[in-house]
């Protein structure tokens, strides 16, 4: 059944979800903090808006008549910068949660929040699931976990809220396999024994739709099936093309943020969702 859906943060993932939901017949409101992007949003959503969560002058009336919301806000920097993380996860997400809690519309609302499997941090390569406590020894992870808690506090009689913890994203425009192969035969100053989690953009889109349809509540790992170390993954990708291996460090760089965990997607699988793309080692149908 079609409805009115809001996407807070129309970046790489948010825009892709918007396009999919419009195809399904949903009326989509999409936001950006950048006035320069408003024009291109016209091709992606029905109602583009400038919205900066936490701005006391921001008009939040567009939240009133929504049936569903995707919170896809993220820092503008690719690497960890504490002020950026603090602004997004320590200020903007809680401000948006407060606006949602005080919206004037009383229709049932579902909220999906895109977080990161990176919150598990250093689990020494052990299997972890949604009951595994985040590794908050990292200030970035502590901020991510705090934002998750703020969103989950929305759950009440009329609002269902869930957190989707994403792996590293690959897909159109994010050709991670080619990026890894480009380092063939070269030294990379990262620990090759660490295990990262991954997910294809297509499965993020499917996961958001699944969460909305099932009115999911709580935390879910939205990751593919791959649980390789960096070295195992790069070896497989390079061997497939007859390339020399990537040469990884065998130790951590001082002060580096560590992610080393086998993240389980069993909880989502148990309720009927499975990745359509099991890993970046599998061919993707056109």
Residue 83 neighbours by CB distance under 10 Å = 10
- pLDDT, tens digit, for every residue of 116-163? 999 999 999 999 999 999 999 999 999 999 999 999 999 998 999 999
- pLDDT, tens digit, for every residue of 207-220? 999 999 999 999 99
Closest CA to 163 of 104, 80, 89: 89
Residue 270 neighbours by CB distance under 10 Å = 8
Beta strands (DSSP E) in 175-222 are 187-191, 198-200, 218-222
Provide the whole-model pTM.
0.95
pLDDT at residue 80, rounded to an integer: 58
- pLDDT, tens digit, for every residue of 4-19? 999 999 999 999 999 9
Beta strands (DSSP E) in 9-99 are 27-32, 47-50, 68-71
| Gyration radius (Cα) of the chain, Å | 19
Angle at the Cα of 106 (from 152 to 94), degrees rounded to 5?
A: 35
Q: Which whole number is the average pLDDT over 57-81?
A: 87
Partnered with residue 69 across adjacent β-strands are: 6, 111
With tokens 């806000």, the residue in question is 73
Backbone angles phi, psi at 80, to 5 degrees: -70, 125
285: pLDDT strictly greater than 70: no
What's the maximum distance between 2 C-alpha atoms anywhere in the chain? 60
Counting residues of the chain whose pLDDT is more than 70, the rounded percentage is 97
Please state, in angstroms and rounded to a whole number, the distance separating the CA atoms of residues 256 and 252.
7
Reported as a pLDDT band with limits 50, 70 and 90, residue 84 is confident
Please state, in angstroms and rounded to a whole number, the distance separating the CA atoms of residues 113 and 14.
11
pLDDT at residue 222, rounded to an integer: 98
With tokens 């998750």, the residue in question is 148
**Domains along the sequence of the chain with CATH:** 4-167+198-223 (3.40.50.720)
Closest CA to 196 of 279, 133, 104: 279
Reported as a pLDDT band with limits 50, 70 and 90, residue 54 is confident
193: pLDDT strictly greater than 70: yes
């Amino acid at each position: 059944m079609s409805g009115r859906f809001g996407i807070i943060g129309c970046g790489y993932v948010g825009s892709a979800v918007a396009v999919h939901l419009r195809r399904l017949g949903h009326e989509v409101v999409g936001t950006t903090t950048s006035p320069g992007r408003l024009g291109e949003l016209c091709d992606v959503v029905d109602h583009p808006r400038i919205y900066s969560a936490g701005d006391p002058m921001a008009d939040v009336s567009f939240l009133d008549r929504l049936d569903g919301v995707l919170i896809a806000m993220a820092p503008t920097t690719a690497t960890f910068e504490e002020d950026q993380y603090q602004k997004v996860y320590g200020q903007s997400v809680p401000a948006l949660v407060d606006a949602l809690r005080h919206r004037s519309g009383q229709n049932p609302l579902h909220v999906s929040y895109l977080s990161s499997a990176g919150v598990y941090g250093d689990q020494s390569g052990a299997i972890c699931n949604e009951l595994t406590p985040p590794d908050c020894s990292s200030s970035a992870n502590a901020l991510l976990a705090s934002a998750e808690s703020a969103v989950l506090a929305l759950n009440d009689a009329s609002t269902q809220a869930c957190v989707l913890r994403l792996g590293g994203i690959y897909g159109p425009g994010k050709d991670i396999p080619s990026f890894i192969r480009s380092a063939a035969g070269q030294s990379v100053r990262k620990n090759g024994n660490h295990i990262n989690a991954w997910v294809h953009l297509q499965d993020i889109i499917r996961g958001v739709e699944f969460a909305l349809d099932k009115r999911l509540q709580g935390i879910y790992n939205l990751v593919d099936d791959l649980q390789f170390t960096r070295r195992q993954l790069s070896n497989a990708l390079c061997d497939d093309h007859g390339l020399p291996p990537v040469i990884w460090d065998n130790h951590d760089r001082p002060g580096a943020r560590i992610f080393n965990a086998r993240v389980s997607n069993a909880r989502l699988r148990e309720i009927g969702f499975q990745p359509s793309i099991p890993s970046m080692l599998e061919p993707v149908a056109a």
